[in-house]
Amino acid sequence: MDHLQIVWAEKVAQRVAGQSLFSSSLNTGINGGSFKDNLTLALLANLGGHLHSEGANLSAKTATYLQDIQKANTDQIVRIFDPKKPDTKLRVFGQLFESVDISNKSGTTKIFATQRLTDHEIRSYALSLTGGIPLQEVRTAPGRFYAVLSDGSTVNLRNVSSSADITKARWTIEIIGNKQIEALQGKVKKKIEIKLQ
């Protein structure tokens, strides 16, 4: 990395940290909750914006932090889709959300009552599942975003759904090709969906 790239990366890190500290302090003061959870949300949101607009030159410490968040959130999703002992609650930045009983029979779709979450928080949660890889909008399909991860799996986020009238979901997160989830499925591998109301 040359001197200009180092200076650029330091400036991005300073902007992200400053914006994140300010917004998490403000959010904690107004809405309450955990400062740590609000800071995590703010870091993901601000970092996602900078990655999308300026490119991805992350420090090793930042990359490790994002991967730790990704692992924790992905492990939780694996527990939700465990057919033997499924977890019925989804944790999003410190808040717990109950599953709704209208999930599909095959067990590949789970719906959660997340009306308290803003669209911004849902997008940040989806970004947390990518380990910092930006979600790219599908040019031919507005409202659909995707990220292909280094392990070959894909995280999709969309705010369109043919079942929206039934599920009342505002957003759907699809995970395709995740090895932990596929290990729970047996021979037939299917994508899983988390629908957020």
The Cα–Cα gap between 193 and 108 comes to 6
Q: How many CB atoms lie within 10 A of CB 99?
A: 18
In this structure, is residue 145 part of a structural domain? Answer: yes
**Side-chain-side CA neighbours of residue 85 (13 Å):** 0
Q: What is the mean pLDDT of each run of 10 residues along the chain (197 residues)?
A: 44 52 49 56 55 51 78 93 91 91 81 93 91 88 92 94 85 95 86 94
pLDDT at position 52 is 42
Q: Is residue 111 part of a domain?
A: yes
Give a yes or no: residue 17 inside a domain: no
In a domain, 53, yes or no: no
Total domain count, the chain = 1
pLDDT of residue 7: 41
Q: Is residue 154 part of a domain?
A: yes
What is the reported pLDDT for 80?
94
Residue 49 falls inside a structural domain:
no
The answer to whether residue 29 sits within a structural domain is no
Residue 113 carries which side chain, given as an amino acid letter?
A
In a domain, 109, yes or no: yes
* Concatenated DSSP letters of 24-72: HHHHHHHH-S-HHHHHHHHHHHHHHHHHHHH-----HHHHHHHHHHHHH
Domain that holds residue 138: 58-196
pTM: 0.70
The pLDDT score that the predictor gives to residue 175 is 96
Give tens-digit pLDDT for 27-76.
445 555 555 555 555 555 555 554 444 445 556 677 777 788 889 999 99
